[in-house]
Chain A
Amino acid sequence: MIKLIKLFTIFLAFLGFSLGNAYADGHAKKVGFIYIGPPGDHGWTYMHDVGRKHMESQLGDAVSSTYIEGVPENADAVRAIRKLASSGHDLIFTTSFNYMDQTLEVAKEFPNVKFEHATGYKRADNVSTYSARFYEGRTISGHIAGHMTKTNIVGYIASFPIPEVVRGINAFYLAASKVNPDIKIKIIWAFTWYDPGKEADAANTLINQGADIIVQHTDTFAPCQAAEKAGVLAFGQASNQEEFCPNAHLTAIEDIWGPYYAARAKAVVDGTWESKDTWEGMAEGMVVMSPYNAKLMPASLIQEAINMEVAIKDGTLHSFEGPIYNQAGELVVPEGEVADDGMLAGMSFYVQGIDGDLPQ
C-alpha cells in the first residue's frame, strides 16, 4: 500500500513538473523589476510600478510580473538581479542609475535573459537602456518659477551628482534666468534619493534662506509638504503630488513608463526584442506635465506653459539652445545650435550663473 502511494506521489510530481514546464514555455513570459524604493513613495518608484501594472493590463495573460523593492545601489543589487534572472524571468527592468554595473555583471552570466537599465548608458547584446527627457519638464518648471518667485531665490534639492540630475538643474536654471535674469538658485545635495526627514530638513533650510519656490530631485513628497506648511510654492516630482500640498503644488513632471514597458515586454513575447537605447520625452508621451495649479498661477502663465509644451513636442523649442556658457565662461553650445544628446547624456558642469561647485 505504502509503495503504491509513493508511486502515485512520484507520478503526480512528474505530472506537475511537466505541466509547469509547459506553462512556462508556451504561455506567460516573466518580467521582473528592481526598485530603489518602495512602490508607495508617490514618486520615482511609484511611477515605475504604475508602468508595470499598465504593462500587465495591456498584455494580459501573455506576461506575469514580479518586483523586488528597496534594493540598495551596491553589491546587494547584484544578488537581487541574479535572483530574478535565475528564477526564470525573461525580461528584467532595473530602475535606478547606479544599478548600471550590477546589471551588466548579471547580464553576462545570463545571456538568454533580456535586461533593461533605466537612465544608464552602458549596453550589451542583452542589455538595453532607456530614459525619459525629464529635462524638458524642468524647462517648463523653470519658466514658471522665473515668473512666480517674489524673492528671486529658488531652492533646489538635488540627490546625487549624476548627469541626469545636473541636466535638470541646468535646464531649470536656463529657462528661469531667461524670464528673470535676477533669479538665484540655491542647491543642496542631499546624497540620498529617499529620506523624508532629510528632504524636509533641506526644504526648510532653503525656505529659511529666503527661497519661495522649492524644486526637488529626490523621491518623496516631504519637500512639497514642507513648502505647504511654510506657505511657499513647490514643484512635485515624478508623479502628481497635488493632494499632499494643494496650496504649494504648481505642477509636477510625471514619468510615464507604461507604454514603453508594454512595448518591450511584447517584443520579448514576440521574440523581436533587441538591444537598443531609448530616450523619449514629451513628444512621445514619456514625460507629461501634471495639471497646472490655476489657484496659484495666472491664466496667462498657464497658457505660456502649455504653448511651451507644444513647442517642445514639435521641436521648435529645445531646453539647451545656444549660446550656453559654463561656469568658467567658456562657450559650450554656440548660438543657433542645440546641445546634442552626447553632451546631454554626460553633462557634468553647471551653466554660467549657478553658484557653488558641482560635486564630482
Chain B
Amino acid sequence: MNIDLIIGIVQIILIATTPLVFAGIGELVTEKSGVLNLGVEGMMLVGAVTAFVTLVVTNSYILAFIFSIISGILMSSLFAFLVLVLMSNQVATGLALTIFGIGLSSMIGKNYIGTPIDGLTPWYFVILSFLIVFFVSYFFYKTKSGLILRAVGESHNSAHALGYSVLKIRLLAIIFGGSMCALAGSYMSICYAPMWQEGMTAGRGWIALALVVFATWKPGRILIGAYIFGGVTILQMNLQAFGLRLPAQFFNMAPYIATMLVLVIISSNKLRIKLSAPASLTLPFYKGR
C-alpha cells in the first residue's frame, strides 16, 4: 500500500460519485417541496446529450453546460406543467418523463454517437457538488425561504393559508431538480466518460432516487449515501484487482448492501424518519380547497 495508490483510489471515487450527488441533491429539493419526480434518469440523459451535441457543434464547454441546464429546465417544466397545473399523477408522469427522456436523447444524439471529443477535467464539478450540498443545507435550515419550501412540502394547505404561492414554490423546486439532473448528465458525457452513448447513465438516476429516501431527505446524508455507494463500488473493484478470493457477485452487491445498512442504521429512529419525510409528498394541491 503506497500513498500514490490511495490517492488514485480516492480520485476515482470522487469522479465516480459526483453525478450521484448532483442528481440526488436536485431530487431532494424537489421532494422536499412535496413533489416526487421519477424522471431523474430521463432528465440526466437529455442533459447529457444536450451538453455533448452543443460541445461538438460550438466547441464551447460553457455553452455546453448552459444549454444542458436549459434542457433540464425545459424537461422539468414540462413535468411541472403536467403535475401542478393538470394535476396528473406524479408517479406515472415521472415514469413517463424518464421514458420520454430515453427516447428523446437517443433521437437527438443519433448522429453524434461515437464522435470523439476532448474531455473536461472533472475537478471543478467535484468541488461544485460539495458546494451545492452545503448551499442546499444552509438554504433549508438557515433561511426563511428554505423554511417556506419545507412548509409547502409538509402541508401545502397550511402554507397556502399563510399566503404562500404553493405552485410557484413547487415549480421552482422542480426546476432546480431538473437543472441538477441535467448537470449530472452533462458531467457524465463531458467529464466522466467523454462520449455520447444511448442510455449511458445506466441507471444512476434510479440510484439517486433511492439515495434521497435512504438519506431521509437530509442534504448532508445525500453526500454520505452517495460516497458510501461510490466508495464501495470502487473499493470492490480494487479488491477484485488485488486478487482477493471472494465471489465477484458479492463484490458487486456490496455497494448496495453497504449503502442500505449504513443509512438504515443512522436513520433507525422511526419518529425522525416520519418527521423528515415531507408529509405532502406526491399529494396534488387544489387551490380551491
Q: Which residues of A contact B200 (CB under 8 A)?
A: 196-197
Q: Which of B199, B202, B241, B252 has the most CB of A within 10 A?
A: B241
User: In the bound complex, what is the Cα–Cα distance between A199 and B8 (angstroms)?
Assistant: 16
**Closest A-B pairs by Cβ, 4 of them:** A40-B113, A208-B8, A355-B243, A38-B198
Report the Cα distance A188→B202, complex, angstroms: 18
Q: Does A198 lie within 8 Å of B202, measured CB to CB?
A: yes
Do B110 and A208 touch (CB < 8 A)? no
- B234 CB to nearest A CB, Å: 6
B176 to chain A, nearest CB (A): 24
B193-207: contact bitstring with A at CB < 8 Å (1 yes, 0 no)?
111011111111000
- Tell yes or no: B220 within 8 A of A by CB: no
In whole Å, how far is B217's beta carbon from the nearest beta carbon of chain A?
26
A31-51 residues at the B interface, CB under 8 angstroms: 37-38, 40-42
Specify which of B19, B202, B246, B248 is in contact with A194 (CB 8 Å cutoff): B202
- Between-chain CB contacts (< 8 Å), 5 pairs: A69-B198, A188-B240, A195-B203, A201-B15, A204-B8
Q: Chain A residues with Cβ under 8 A from B119's Cβ?
A: 225, 229
**Chain B contact residues, CB within 8 Å of chain A:** 5, 8-9, 12, 15-16, 19, 106, 110, 113-114, 116, 119, 188, 192-195, 197-204, 233-234, 237-238, 240-249, 251-252
Please, which residues of chain B bring their CB within 8 A of the CB of A234? none
Choose one: B9, B204, B252; the contact of A197 (CB below 8 Å): B204
A198 to B199, CA, bound (A): 13
User: Within A155-198, which residues are at the interface with B (CB < 8 Å)?
Assistant: 155, 161, 186-192, 194-198
A200 interface residue (CB < 8 Å to B):
yes
B241 touching A188, Cβ below 8 Å: yes
Q: Are B247 and A357 in contact (CB under 8 A)?
A: yes
| Complex contacts, B194 vs chain A, CB 8 Å | 225
Neighbouring B residues of A38 by C-beta, 8 Å: 106, 113, 197-199
Is the interface on chain A under 10, 10 to 19, 20 to 34, or 35 or more residues?
Answer: 35 or more
* A356 within 8 Å of B (CB atoms): yes
Q: Which residues of A contact B201 (CB under 8 A)?
A: 197
Interface of A is mostly: mixed
Asked if residues A201 and B237 are in contact (CB atoms below 8 Å), the reply is yes
Q: In this complex, what residue of B is CB-closest to A184? A: B243
State which of B15, B16, B245 has its C-beta within 8 Å of the C-beta of A356: B245
Closest to B252 in A: A191
Q: How far is the CA of A56 from the CA of B110 in the complex (A)?
A: 21
Contact yes or no, B195 A222, CB < 8 A? yes
- List chain B residues, Cβ under 8 A from A190: 252
**Closest B residue, CB atoms, query A239:** B114
Shortest distance between the CB of B109 and any CB in chain A (Å): 8
- Say yes or no: is A220 at the interface (Cβ < 8 Å to chain B): yes
User: What is the CA–CA distance of A274 and B81 in the complex, to the nearest angstrom?
Assistant: 56
Known contacts A201-B233, A356-B243, A356-B245; 11 further A-B pairs (Cβ under 8 A) = A37-B198, A40-B113, A40-B114, A197-B16, A197-B19, A197-B204, A205-B241, A209-B242, A225-B119, A355-B243, A356-B240
Q: How far is the CA of A14 from the CA of B200 in the complex (A)?
A: 46
B199 touches A209 (CB 8 A): no
**Chain A residues in 8 Å Cβ range of B243:** 186, 355-356
Q: Complex formed: what's the CA distance from A155 to B243 in Å?
A: 12
Given contacts A196-B195, A197-B200, contact A359 B8 (CB under 8 A): no
- B92 to chain A: closest CB distance in Å? 20
In A52-81, the 8 Å CB interface with B consists of: 69-70
Contacts of A356 in B (CB 8 A): 240, 243-245
Report if A243 contacts B (CB, 8 A): yes
Query: Does A206 sit at the interface, judged by CB under 8 A?
Result: yes
CA distance A200 to B8 in the complex (A): 14
B12 touches A189 (CB 8 A): no
Min CB–CB distance A163 → chain B (angstroms): 16
A197 touches B12 (CB 8 A): no
* Residues of chain B contacted by A41 (CB below 8 angstroms): 113, 197-198
Query: Which residues of the partner chain A approach B110 to less than 8 Å between Cβ atoms?
Result: 40
B193 touches A197 (CB 8 A): yes
Shortest Cβ distance from B178 into chain A, in angstroms?
21
User: How far apart sit A319 and B202, CA to CA, in the bound complex (Å)?
Assistant: 35
CB contacts (< 8 Å) of A198 on chain B: these are 202, 233
A189-B251, A197-B204 known; A40 vs B198 contact (CB < 8 Å)? yes
Indicate whether A202 reaches chain B with its CB closer than 8 angstroms.
yes
Q: Decide yes or no whether A121 CB sits under 8 A from chain B.
A: no
Q: How far is the CB of A226 from chain B (nearest CB, A)?
A: 8
Given A221-B195, A244-B116, A357-B246, A201 and B241 touching (CB < 8 A)?
no
B114 contacts A197, CB within 8 Å?
no
**Chain B residue nearest to A70 in the complex (CB):** B199
Give chain B residues whose Cβ lies under 8 Å from the Cβ of A359: 247-249
Q: Are A208 and B199 in contact (CB under 8 A)?
A: no
**Across the interface, which residues of A come within 8 angstroms of B252, CB to CB?**
189-191
Q: Chain A's nearest CB lies how many Å from the CB of B100?
A: 15
* Known contacts A187-B241, A205-B238; A42 and B114 CB within 8 A of each other: yes
Chain B residue at minimum C-beta to C-beta distance from A198: B202
Complex Cα–Cα for A206 and B202 (A): 21
Q: Which of B116, B193, B242, B247 contacts A196 (CB 8 A)?
A: B193
Q: Mark A344-360, 1 if CB is under 8 A from B, else 0.
A: 00000000000111011
Asked if B195 and A225 make an inter-chain contact with CB atoms under 8 angstroms apart, the answer reads yes
A208-246 Cβ-contact flags toward B at 8 Å (1 or 0)? 110000000000111001000100000000000001100
- Complex Cα distance, B244 from A356, in Å, reads 6
Q: Bound state CA distance, A221 and B113, in angstroms?
A: 11
- Whether B113 and A42, one on each chain, are in contact in the complex, defined by CB atoms closer than 8 angstroms, is yes
Contacts of B237 in A (CB 8 A): 188, 201-202, 205
